[in-house]
Amino acid sequence: MENYLETIEFTNALDFLDYLQLRNPRWLPANATSTPWVFRGQYGADLGLLPSALRPNQIWFNEFKKLYRSEVSDYVYSKKTEYKSDEFQPEKDRLIELILQIVAEWNSVQEFIDLANQVGHQIPADDIAYIEPDLQINWRQVADTFTKTMKHHDYDYWDPERIKFALAQHHGIPTRLLDWTYSPIVAAVFAIEGTNAETQAESKIVVWAINYTLLENTSLKVITHKRSKIPFLHAQSGLFIYDSMANLNFLKNGYWSGIEQVFVPQIYKANNSTLRKVTLESSQANELLRLLTVEGVTRAHLMPTLDNVTKTLETRHRHSNT
């Protein structure tokens, strides 16, 4: 066990679910009526907590990057940087990749918003008055920011509190937001969705837990929205966590890292009251699905659309045949 990560392993679905109950003292402080923990379910014990937008070979962004890479490269290499002597100066190739990444992310969300609006979906408005109504940016804006004198906040160049990002994330567009929930049982549902007959022997069902009250002095930000604005957010008791220093870490290291890396001891002196990983053997997937169905917690309940009723039935049939 790392001193910032505690791993708890189970081989029995019932024990796994019992452990995840919020009344368990592992989650509920003495005499408290609420827990400081939030939860995330995913399939694969070896996968880190990497947001979907930052995963390798993200197909949503490949076309944009291919189209603009040469133009962005020529622009960055021709532009004289203006960093101060005491400021971090990134390699230009990494800077080019970062510029393409940022703008590709923004454009994907904007495309989603534009088309959703075209076909008649209601797009919730941001509560923050100063935010512009659209997300349009271009790569020259980003390149100019990153080649001029930089201040700490300029490394972020993202606006995670916009509700449009949360809406896009909940409907499958890759963003920097990482989904979490106040309910460990909800997290277990999403953890089981990646399993099937072929993968059950390869990895584990995982529920991550993070004590969000201990994030104040880290680069991780907790993002919440009014649940009335996004129905799925309400059904899932959802919230998001976002790493405000991901860009800087990429420029320094040359790769994107999961948010668990924020807790590496050299960066943040944490202990096992901060981050936990609860795992279950994949061979228990069928039993876990049965128990969750008994609890009335399925994808159809958490994302209540007719399409998800079908997906829930598909999952049920897939596991009943294994």
Print pLDDT tens along the chain (322 aa): 466 788 999 999 999 999 999 999 999 999 999 999 999 999 887 878 999 999 988 888 999 999 999 999 999 999 887 777 777 788 899 999 999 999 999 999 989 999 998 998 888 876 554 444 455 568 888 888 887 755 554 567 777 788 888 889 988 899 999 999 999 999 998 898 766 544 445 679 999 999 999 888 889 999 988 766 676 666 678 899 999 989 989 998 999 999 998 877 545 555 557 899 999 999 999 899 889 888 877 776 666 666 667 766 776 666 565 5
Residue 243, H or E segment? strand 238-243
Check whether residue 284 and residue 320 sit in a common domain: yes
Check whether residue 123 and residue 158 sit in a common domain: yes
* pLDDT at 133 (0 to 100): 47
Cβ-contact 171, 230 below 8 angstroms: no
Residue finishing a domain among 176, 209, 240: 176
* pLDDT at 266 (0 to 100): 45
- Cα Rg of the chain (Å, integer): 21
Check whether residue 129 and residue 242 sit in a common domain: no
* pLDDT at 273 (0 to 100): 75
Q: Cβ contacts of residue 234 below 8 Å, gap of 6+? A: 227, 228
Check whether residue 151 and residue 202 sit in a common domain: no
Cβ-contact 207, 187 below 8 angstroms: yes
Residue 163, H or E segment? helix 163-170
* pLDDT at 173 (0 to 100): 93
* pLDDT at 216 (0 to 100): 85
Check whether residue 168 and residue 182 sit in a common domain: no
Q: Cβ contacts of residue 156 below 8 Å, gap of 6+? A: 244, 245, 247
Residue range of the domain that includes 219: 1-51+177-322
Check whether residue 164 and residue 293 sit in a common domain: no
Q: What is the pTM of this model?
A: 0.85
Check whether residue 231 and residue 318 sit in a common domain: yes
Check whether residue 181 and residue 308 sit in a common domain: yes
Cβ-contact 99, 72 below 8 angstroms: yes
Check whether residue 44 and residue 86 sit in a common domain: no
